Amino acid sequence: MAATEDVAIVRLGVEDAAAGLVLSTEARWNQNEDDWRFFLSKGIVIGVRDDTRRLIATAALLPYSAGNAWISMVLVTESWRRRGIATRLVDSCLSTAKQMGLTSWLDATPAGATVYGPLGFAPTLELRRLRLENSGSSAEAASSLETCDPVAFAAHDARAMGFSRDALLSEFAGRPGSRMVKKGNAMALVRNGRTARHIAPLFADSPDEALALVQAIVRSERGPLLLDAVHSQSQFLEGLTGCGWNIERPFQRMRFGNAVTQATEPPFAVAGPEYG
Ligand SMILES: CC(C)(COP(=O)(O)OP(=O)(O)OC[C@H]1O[C@@H](n2cnc3c(N)ncnc32)[C@H](O)[C@@H]1OP(=O)(O)O)[C@@H](O)C(=O)NCCC(=O)NCCS
């Protein structure tokens, strides 16, 4: 096996989507091939291959608007861990972001946070990944959900992030199986994932409204569901765990450098740790 300083970092392309999916599946993540295709076509994805050209590590930098970018898909296959590969890949993403004048953000798993802290990332929001094993279909609940106006949805998202992500939201909404739904003033996007459907993001005026929307979605879906709740929305989190949702893992949002934009409306659930 090569020493870490010998491994070459290469730029990946859309043809690497299936190999990327092997890495995220090994880590038991929920991303599917559509997610990889989006990162590989709209972002800057770098990786490392072994002597047989097998992809063994990745990291992605996804430029957003107003001088912001998201770093994600930081994955190293198990047999190559603890040799500094993730550190080198994230460092390379940071150099690219610096050249492009972008402030980098990411949502770290506990293992990821041990890599990013020493590189200079500072913690911001805390998130919790929740999973519900069994949602149940009911025509009555489905009829209590309305279709959401994409323009209103994008406006909420821009207030939640402090910048707009129109390309990302259009991509999500255009995927087969995606739904943009509302109940009262609460709205959410539901999309396919590898092992579970994902409610992400979710905006509402109050925890009660947010919970009522989740419950209506749960009754209108089949199979497991995921969502990434903002930890400070404690009433919402308690409501979810009180009706069968289990906390799977924490995520720590982190930022490298100064904030260049200001979020004005915290969401109840984010778009996913890979997208922010
Ligand atoms: C997290 C992950 C990307 C780290 O990759 P890596 O190449 O092993 O990381 P590095 O070798 O650059 O680690 C740098 C330092 O981070 C810390 N670190 C990394 N992984 C760690 C772990 N599992 N536990 C404790 N510390 C860890 C150590 O301080 C390490 O330095 P050391 O090996 O000299 O002690 C890899 O374990 C992985 O793919 N995990 C599953 C997916 C994941 O959680 N990705 C992060 C998403 S935010």
pLDDT digits (tens, 9 = 90+) for 149-207: 999 999 999 999 999 999 999 999 999 999 999 999 999 999 999 999 999 999 999 99
Residue-wise pLDDT for 72-93, tens only, equals 999 999 999 999 999 999 999 9
Q: In sequence order, which ranges of the chain are alpha helices (DSSP H)?
A: 17-26, 33-42, 85-99, 110-119, 139-143, 150-161, 166-174, 207-220, 234-242
Instruction: Note whether 54 and 41 are same-domain residues.
Output: yes
Tell me the average pLDDT across 261-271.
Answer: 94
Nearest CA residue ID for atom 48, ligand 1: 108
Q: Which residues line ligand 1 (CB under 6 A)?
A: 27, 74-76, 81-87, 108-109, 111-112, 114-115
The whole-number average pLDDT for the span 40-58 is 97
Q: What is the mean pLDDT of residues 262-268?
A: 93
217: in domain: yes
Whether 177 and 102 share a structural domain: no
Provide mean pLDDT across the span 233-240. Answer: 98
What's the pLDDT score for residue 7? 85
Same domain for 245 and 144, yes or no, is: yes
272 occurs within a structural domain: no
The answer as to whether 263 is a domain residue is: no
> What pTM did the predictor assign?
0.95
CA of 148 to the centre of ligand 1 (A): 40
Is the pLDDT at 140 greater than 80? The verdict is no
Let me know whether 250 and 141 are in one domain.
yes
pLDDT, the chain, mean? 95
Question: Closest by alpha carbon to 202, among 134, 271, 107?
Answer: 271
- 134 and 245 together in one domain: yes
Query: Residue 158: which domain range?
Result: 127-256
**Model pLDDT, residue 134:** 82
CATH of the domain at 241: 3.40.630.90
Q: 181 and 109, same structural domain?
A: no
Q: Are residues 26 and 69 in the same domain?
A: yes
Total of domains in the chain: 2
pLDDT-derived band at 135, boundaries 50, 70, 90: confident
117 and 187, same domain (yes or no)? no
Question: Are 131 and 229 members of one domain?
Answer: yes
Q: How far is the CA of 116 from the centre of ligand 1 (A)?
A: 9
Point out the domain boundary residue: 57, 91, 122.
122
Confidence of residue 4 (pLDDT cuts 50, 70, 90): low
Whether residue 115 sits in one domain with residue 8: yes
Give me ligand 1 centre to Cα 255, in Å. 18
Question: In angstroms, rounded to a whole number, what is the distance separating the alpha carbons of residues 218 and 141?
Answer: 9
Residues 21 and 109 in one domain: yes
* 14 neighbors 33 (Cβ within 8 angstroms): no
Cβ neighbour number for residue 110 with a 10 Å cutoff: 10
